[in-house]
Amino acid sequence: MTATPPPPMSLLAELTHRCPLQCPYCANPVELETRARELDIATWIRVFEEAAAMGVLQVHFSGGEPMAFQGLPELVQAASRLGLYTNLITSGVLLTAETLKPLYDAGLDHVQLSFQDADPNEAERIGGMAGAQAKKLEAARLVTEAGLPLTLNFVIHRQNISNVPAMLNMAEQLKARRVEIAHTQYYGWGLKNRDALLPSRAQLEETEEAVAQARLRFGSRITVDFVTPDYYADQPKPCMGGWGQKFINISPAGAVLPCHAAESIPGLTFPSVKDSSLEEIWYRSPLFTLYRGTDWMPAPCRSCSQKEIDWGGCRCQALALTGNAGNTDPVCKQAPGHSAIQQAIADRPETPPPLIYRRYGNIKTTG
Amino acid sequence: MTQADGTFSASTVLRFARGTRLQFDRVRERWFIQAPERVFLVDNIAAEILQLADGERSLGDISTILHEKFTAPYDVILADVLRMTRDLAEKQVLQTV
Ligand code: SF4
Ligand code: SF4
C-alpha cells in the first residue's frame, strides 16, 4: 500500500519485565530485559509527548508489573496532562492504599487487574506466588472504592477453564465494569507450555456458553470481552489490529515494536526511542513498513476478501509455527501451514505436563 | 432526577463517569469519548450536547442553551438530548448526579 498509514491510536508502554508472578503464559518475550536496561522517566515522558502529538489517544501501562517501576505516578501524571487516557494493566500484588493514591491523584483513568483463577489455591499455583489472591482481591476493592472503573482479566487455559462461570461471578461481586475472558495466545511462554494449556474443543464450547449466559444476565452493567483461542478458529485474529495500523508497543529497553512479540522475529532491526522519534519510526522505519498493509502478503491472503480485516493474522505465530514470519498465519484454514495447528490439537496429551514458569533464565536459548 | 423506569427527563442531571471523558482529537480533527479500553466516535451535534453535561446543568438547561444557539424547536432538541444521553448512560459513559 502506498497510501500514508493512519496515525497510531494506542501506545503500550512495557515499563519493566520485572514481576512478582511467573505466569506460564506471560506475553513477555522468553528473553526478559533486566532492570539495568530499562528506560528512565525522562525518556518515557518525552515518548508520551511525541505520541500525543502524533495522535495517540490511550496509553496502557504494562509490564511485567508496571507498579514495580519506580516513578509510575510521574508517568501517569505526564500522560494525563497531555490528554492521554491512562490505563494501568496490573497483577495487583503491589497495589495498596498507599500505592494507589498517588496514581489516582496523578489522573489515572482505568485499572485492568489480572487474576489467574477464581479458585485461590489454583490461582496461586498458576501464578507461582503464594498469598497473591488476597492481595488482588484487596486491590480490586481499593480500585472500585476510589471510584475508578475496573476491568478484570482472566487468561483461560485447560487448567482453569472449568471455573469460567465462577470468574464471571467474581466480576460481578467485585463490581467490575468489564471482564475479559481471554484464551491464552500460543507464542512466547504460552507456546512453550502449549500442551499444559491448550483446552479441548468441548471445553471451549462450555466457556462460550458461560459467556453467553453472563452477557444476558449482566446486560449493559458489565461488558464481557471474550477472546477465543486461535487454534479452534477458522480465521486468525487481526493481530494488534494489523501490523503498524493502530498500536505502538515499547519494550522496557526502548525498542519500538508493532506487537509485543515482534522481537522474536530473527533478522530484523528494532528501532529504539533512544535513536529516533516515534514519528520517524511509525511512518518510515523498515520494521513498521515490513508487514504493514497488504503488499507483503503471500497467497492465499493476496487474493482473499478478508485481507484488510484480519491482515493475514499474527506474524509471530506464523514464525513460531512455520519458520517464516512472512507466511499466512497457520490458524487460517486456507494457510499452507494449517496442518501445524491440527497436529498440535491431535497431539494434545490427556494429562497436562508440568508448567514451565516465567522466570529469568528458565529457558536458555530459544529456537 | 431519573424516572422510575430508568428514562431521563428534562430535570435529569448527568456527568461523565470517572474513566470516561469527551475529548477533541486535534490530529484527526474530530470529537470522541475516551472510555476504558475503547474510544467512541462522537458526531458534532452530540459533542455540543456533551460539552454542556457538566454535572450541574439539567438536560432541560442544556436543551434551552442549544435551542437559543441553533434556533431549533426546544422540544425537538430535548427529544434528541434524551435519546442520546440515555444511550450513553447505557454504555456507562454518563451517570446521573
Ligand atoms: S502475565 Fe503474569 S508473569 Fe506476566 S507480567 Fe502478567 S502477572 Fe506478571
Ligand atoms: S487467507 Fe489470509 S487474509 Fe484470508 S482469511 Fe486467511 S489469513 Fe485472513
pLDDT score recorded for residue B6: 63
Q: Which of A255, A246, A241, A258 is nearest to A325 (CA)?
A: A258
Interval A333-341 mean pLDDT: 92
Residues of chain B with C-beta less than 8 angstroms from the C-beta of A53:
27
pLDDT in tens, chain B (97 residues): 455 456 799 999 999 988 999 999 989 999 999 999 888 999 988 999 999 999 999 999 999 999 999 989 999 999 999 999 998 998 889 999 8
A19 among annotated binding-site residues: yes
Question: What number of helices (H) and strands (E) belong to chain B?
Answer: 3, 5
pLDDT score recorded for residue A362: 66
One-letter identity of residue B34: Q
Kindly give the number of the ligand 2 atom that is closest to the alpha carbon of A333. Answer: 6
Q: Which of A279, A227, A233 is nearest to A256 (CA)?
A: A279
Rg (CA), chain A: 20
pLDDT, one tens digit per residue, over A181-232 is 999 988 888 988 999 999 999 999 999 999 999 999 998 889 999 998 889 9
pLDDT, one tens digit per residue, over A349-364 is 999 999 999 887 665 4
Q: Say if residues A57 and A8 touch (Cβ distance below 8 Å).
A: no
Q: Is A239 in the pocket of ligand 2 (CB under 6 A)?
A: no
Rounded distance, CA A40 to CA A205, Å?
45
Distance set, CA A164 to CA A171, A178, A196, A202 (Å): 11, 15, 18, 14
Distance A317 CA to ligand 2 centre (A): 14
A316 among annotated binding-site residues: no
Q: Is A312 in the pocket of ligand 2 (CB under 6 A)?
A: yes
Evaluate if residue A174 carries a pLDDT over 70: yes
- Grid cell of B77 as nine digits: 432538541
pLDDT score recorded for residue A366: 37
Q: Find which of B22, B24, B32, B34 to mutate to test the A interface (most A CBs within 10 Å of its CB).
A: B34
Please tell me the distance in Å from A364's CA to the nearest CA on chain B. Answer: 35
Ramachandran region of residue B86, left (φ > 0), alpha (ψ -120 to 50) or beta?
alpha
Distance A295 CA to ligand 2 centre (A): 14
Distance A157 CA to ligand 1 centre (A): 15
Evaluate if residue A82 carries a pLDDT over 80: yes
Distance A313 CA to ligand 2 centre (A): 7
Which residue minimizes the CA distance to atom 4 of ligand 1? A26
Q: Say if residues A59 and A11 touch (Cβ distance below 8 Å).
A: yes
Distance of CA B34 to the CA centre of its chain: 14
Of B19, B23, B90, the CB nearest to A83: B23
Of B19, B28, B32, the CB nearest to A110: B19
Q: Which of A108, A193, A135 is nearest to A159 (CA)?
A: A193
Cβ–Cβ of B36/A54 closer than 8 Å?
Answer: no
Which residue minimizes the CA distance to atom 5 of ligand 1? A64
Cβ–Cβ of B37/A151 closer than 8 Å?
Answer: yes
Residues of chain B with C-beta less than 8 angstroms from the C-beta of A151:
36-37
Q: Is the dihedral of CA A242, A248, A250, A255 positive or negative?
A: positive
pLDDT score recorded for residue A1: 46
Helix, strand, or coil (residue A253): coil
Q: How many CB atoms lie within 10 A of CB B1?
A: 11
Cβ–Cβ of A220/B28 closer than 8 Å?
Answer: no
Q: State how beta strands B21-25 and B30-35 pair.
A: antiparallel
- Phi, psi angle pair for A190, to nearest 5°: -60, -40
Rounded distance, CA A264 to CA A272, Å?
16
Distance set, CA A326 to CA A176, A301, A358 (Å): 40, 11, 28
- Res. A234 pLDDT band, cuts 50 70 90: confident
Beta strands in chain A (DSSP E): 10-14, 58-62, 85-90, 110-115, 150-156, 178-183, 223-227, 247-250, 256-257
Kindly give the number of the ligand 1 atom that is closest to the alpha carbon of A17. Answer: 5
Of A83, A149, A221, the CB nearest to B19: A149
Interval A11-37 mean pLDDT: 91
Q: Rounded to 5, what percent of chain A is helix, strand, coil? A: 40, 15, 50
Cβ–Cβ of B39/A57 closer than 8 Å?
Answer: yes
Please tell me the distance in Å from B44's CA to the nearest CA on chain A. Answer: 19
Evaluate if residue A59 carries a pLDDT over 90: yes
> For residues A152, A192, A14 and A96, what is the CA-based torsion angle, rounded to 10 degrees?
40
Q: How many CA atoms lie within 13 A of A49 on its CB side?
A: 7
pLDDT, one tens digit per residue, over A276-330 is 999 999 999 999 999 999 999 999 999 999 999 999 999 988 988 899 999 999 9
Evaluate if residue A367 carries a pLDDT over 80: no
pLDDT score recorded for residue A260: 84
Please tell me the distance in Å from B64's CA to the nearest CA on chain A. Answer: 30
In DSSP terms, A113 is beta-bridged to A90, A152
Q: Which of A28, A117, A192 to mutate to test the pocket of ligand 1 (most atoms within 8 A of CB)?
A: A28
Of A55, A147, A178, the CB nearest to B18: A147
Which of the residue ranges A12-16, A147-151, A308-312 would you say has the lowest mean pLDDT? A308-312
- Res. A38 pLDDT band, cuts 50 70 90: very high
pLDDT score recorded for residue A188: 83
- Phi, psi angle pair for B39, to nearest 5°: -130, 125
- Phi, psi angle pair for A226, to nearest 5°: -115, 120
Rounded distance, CA A258 to CA A251, Å?
11
- Res. A66 pLDDT band, cuts 50 70 90: very high
One-letter identity of residue A177: R
